[in-house]
Structure 1
Amino acid sequence: MDIVIAPDKFKGSLTAVEASRAIARGAIRACPSAALDEIPMADGGEGTVEALVTATRGTFRTAPVTGPLGQAIEARFGLSGDGRTAFIEMAAASGLVLVPEAERDPTRSTTRGTGELIRAALDLRVDRVVLGIGGSATNDGGSGMARAIGFRLLDADGRELPPGGGPLGRLDRIDASDRDPRLDRVELAVACDVTNPLCGPEGASAVYGPQKGADAAMVRQLDRNLARLAEVIARDLGRSVADLPGAGAAGGLGAGLVAFAGGTLQRGVDLIAQTVGLADRLKGADLCLTAEGSLDAQTAHGKTIAGVARSAAEFGCPVLAIAGGIQPGAEVLLNQGVSAYFSLCDRPMSLAEALEQAPSLLERSAEQAVRAFLAGRSRPLRGS
């Protein structure tokens, strides 16, 4: 039996790679003769680089970059096994995890390090860059990233603006004369799992600013400043990004990647599935096992399990899903390609216990899921 194993991470306990290995151990106990194809998955957030490097048999690289508050850091990115695609997580250079809670200030934090990672990828002469933009500490509309790839953002006196979302209200013009020309020869695919516009009540500042340290006054300032950035981008670069779905992702980095770097915003799980060749690997498979931390009504909207199930449904491949928690609304997945779902927890336990024991719990759940599948195949239904 051919089994494809395509889980996401279990946040706080297992990476997608670790989850894949645990599922594989359980599956092979249930069916020792099975041929397993492990494909760690992601949706563009934390763990994307590790999943893509593993799935493409690639390598990890590091580069010195500017952290979100201007500090010098080393950031990891990846290169596919064929050397043609670079994998980047903006969180590795400009992420919220890099800023102590007491120092969070989206008026100052910058995406410059993300731009420096793009430049490091261009140095490798790749044809394509896949960039996940979850987990940002920033609200600068990608202006820091733009500076790293050759743009100048100037005030009315022709002076370069300081970094961060705070100074963007003084933006007068954008100078693109030193833009890195290598960007024109590379496809930049942006894994984006939100559809927020750049500004307004559903925009970057209002929805995500508070978790990055913005109070009510800062939110209003940042929203006005991103609106100003969009105006100048439209005038000087000829790109309309204000109402673009996903423009507000990562504090407006979604908009900045489109405007400054020629990126395209794509649903994260679909982009990752395309990059790892999930569809081709599901052709002819007898079963697909997938997993992530929680199943609920939102899982159907761009999360990994839903994306894997959609791909598998094209080939009539049954999908069994395992999750740490199953919430009301999860049943909608049964109409979207998931054949059945199982809880990770096989007895009453605390969250701390579940996190600590996640590898063994996932292994056992996978074994039981495969055994149930095999039992259903072992004999025809009565009367059939």
Structure 2
Amino acid sequence: MHHSFNILTTTTPSESPEPPLKHEDNRMRILICPSGFKESLDTHVVADCIEEGVRRIVPDAVIKKVPLFDGGEGFAKALITSTGGTLRDITITGPVNQPVASQYGLLGDNGPKTAVIDMAAAAGLRLVPKDLRDPTVTTTYGVGELLFAALEEGVERILVGCGDSGTSDGGAGMLQALGARLLDKHGHELPLAQGGKSLSTLADIDRTHLHPRLREVEIEVACNFKNVLCGPKGVARVYGPQKGATPAQVEMLAAALDTYGLIVSRKLGQTVSSLPGSGASGGLGAGLLLLGAKLRPRYEAITEYFGINDDLFRDNHHLVFTAEGKIDAQTTQGKIPAEIAVRAKKHGLPVIALAGTVGDDANANYGAGIDAYTSIMQGPMTLEDAMEAAERLLRDSAETAMRMVMLGKSLNADIHTTASAPVPVPVPAPAAAAAAGAGMTKTKAYKKVFPSLSMFTFVCVSFLWLAALYTSHDPSCISLK
């Protein structure tokens, strides 16, 4: 069986932005490219809310909305809708071994008969009740059942979206649903769909009885290439706590996936444990490799599937909005806002990110090209209240951000047209302190600390920086995930 692996090419912001496409219209042009808010707002709703907030301040703005999917929940439905395809309803085994209603789709284009599957539709975190969130026992068995159904329908190609998972079984349950036998050292078959902890006794994987059509079908996977199966940055340690694992369970899962990784590597004849994408969706990427799947960086794959190209960022926009449920250090690891920012910077576009909550080390996103980020929260509230009010909070946050942008634009015009003394420019506290230590004026500090930003963007950053600082340091502020 042929195995093909893609390696992500890292893109850095260009020092010489490419020229924008020309437009006769002088109205403000804004690009909105959000991800969804997990378990709260889908990406289309997020885009609509941002647009509504922006139009409160700039009613005549030319706005282009490009809602993006990270391969998680909603990916299949969006792709089916965009191609005029068909959804198939099916009952499968959910992540906690209970029947759940699910779907897969068939593309409506004229290419090879292609099925599209969200792993989250079978094993997503949303399907795991909060009181049962234990990634040592949740299973991807239902993902295998979706694949089995698509194979039985005679498809020639399968696209799998990885994201929003509630599992950490390395795709073991999926393999079992497709006919693989997981064996212990005595040759005894492991029980079906028992989750990641069962892999601690794994000694071999027998693929003899896998569905025969897997040899004929191309499987392509849109996944986060920054996620690896094992090691300090392995999927158990990075995502286990988010899925409900205790510290002890995290280490147990990590050890079990180490064992699994060694066996998968032996079967494929190459090291898989640190392969890009092997840890996607709780290690499902590694299991899919055993089926001959091709792993692709999700942004690259998704933009191809939805027909998005580089002209999106060359279309003479003045500003880009992006969004996701949580902005933190992990955002830089292949998530939609950072991917958007990197590409926007190639064309010199400022980027503002709105988030349900701001987490640890969120300032790492400045290096990815996000000029400013802020939480949509307006004060302490429960998670339930925040989710109920999410649309209003997002609209209000977009409005506030846009007010700051227009204020910055106004100040920028005043600075360039007034012949009197320079207008003082607000500098965030760390930058101001650094400037004072170096004996610089605030204006010089601005130029030194933020050399790539226009005065227009810098004023926006200054205000939004304060909002983000408040939110990220207020422990009582419980917000969206």
* TM-score, structure 2 normalization: 0.64
List aligned pairs for 1:179-218, cutoff 5 A. 179-182=211-214, 184-192=216-224, 194-198=226-230, 202-205=233-236
Against the structure 1 CA distance between its residues 118 and 279, is the aligned structure 2 distance closer, same or farther, given a 3 Å change threshold?
Answer: farther
Which one of 82, 97, 112 corresponds to residue 141 of structure 2?
Answer: 112
Q: Is residue 2:27 matched to residue 1:10?
A: no
C-alpha distance after superposition, 1:227-270 (max 9, x if no partner): 4444443444434323324434444322111223423153x445
CA contact under 8 A between 1:149 and 1:179: conserved in structure 2? Answer: yes
**Residue aligned with 2:291, SS:** helix
Deviates more, 1:222-231 or 1:371-380: 371-380
CA contact under 8 A between 2:223 and 2:277: conserved in structure 1? Answer: no
**Residue aligned with 2:222, SS:** strand
C-alpha distance after superposition, 1:75-96 (max 9, x if no partner): 1344556376644332321234
Q: Is residue 2:88 matched to residue 1:22?
A: no
Identity %: 38
Against the structure 1 CA distance between its residues 29 and 269, is the aligned structure 2 distance closer, same or farther, given a 3 Å change threshold?
Answer: same
Q: Unaligned stretches of 5+ in structure 2? A: 1-26, 419-481
Against the structure 1 CA distance between its residues 83 and 257, is the aligned structure 2 distance closer, same or farther, given a 3 Å change threshold?
Answer: farther
**Residue aligned with 2:339, SS:** helix
Q: Is residue 2:124 matched to residue 1:90?
A: no
Distance 1:213 1:333 in 2: 26
Against the structure 1 CA distance between its residues 23 and 176, is the aligned structure 2 distance closer, same or farther, given a 3 Å change threshold?
Answer: same
Q: Is residue 2:288 matched to residue 1:260?
A: no
* TM-score, structure 1 normalization: 0.78
Against the structure 1 CA distance between its residues 239 and 363, is the aligned structure 2 distance closer, same or farther, given a 3 Å change threshold?
Answer: same
Against the structure 1 CA distance between its residues 62 and 283, is the aligned structure 2 distance closer, same or farther, given a 3 Å change threshold?
Answer: farther
Number of equivalenced pairs: 380
Q: Is residue 2:151 matched to residue 1:151?
A: no
CA contact under 8 A between 1:43 and 1:272: conserved in structure 2? Answer: yes
Deviates more, 1:243-252 or 1:49-58: 49-58
Deviates more, 1:126-135 or 1:77-86: 77-86
Q: Is residue 2:67 matched to residue 1:36?
A: no
C-alpha distance after superposition, 1:16-74 (max 9, x if no partner): 22111112223344444444332222434445445655666766443222223443322
Distance 2:343 2:314 in 1: 10
Q: Is residue 2:313 matched to residue 1:279?
A: no
Deviates more, 1:95-104 or 1:186-195: 95-104
List aligned pairs for 1:297-376, cutoff 5 A. 297-326=329-358, 329-345=361-377, 348=379, 350=381, 354-370=386-402, 373=405, 376=409
What residue in structure 1 maps to residue 274 of structure 2?
243
CA contact under 8 A between 1:288 and 1:319: conserved in structure 2? Answer: yes
Against the structure 1 CA distance between its residues 156 and 355, is the aligned structure 2 distance closer, same or farther, given a 3 Å change threshold?
Answer: closer
Which amino acid counterpart does residue 117 of structure 2 have in structure 1? I
What residue in structure 2 maps to residue 76 of structure 1?
103
In the TM superposition, residue 289 of structure 1 has moved relative to its aligned partner by: 1.9
**Larger Rg belongs to:** 2
**Residue aligned with 1:382, SS:** helix
CA contact under 8 A between 1:300 and 1:332: conserved in structure 2? Answer: yes
C-alpha distance after superposition, 1:297-343 (max 9, x if no partner): 44333332211111222333332332344567545544543344455
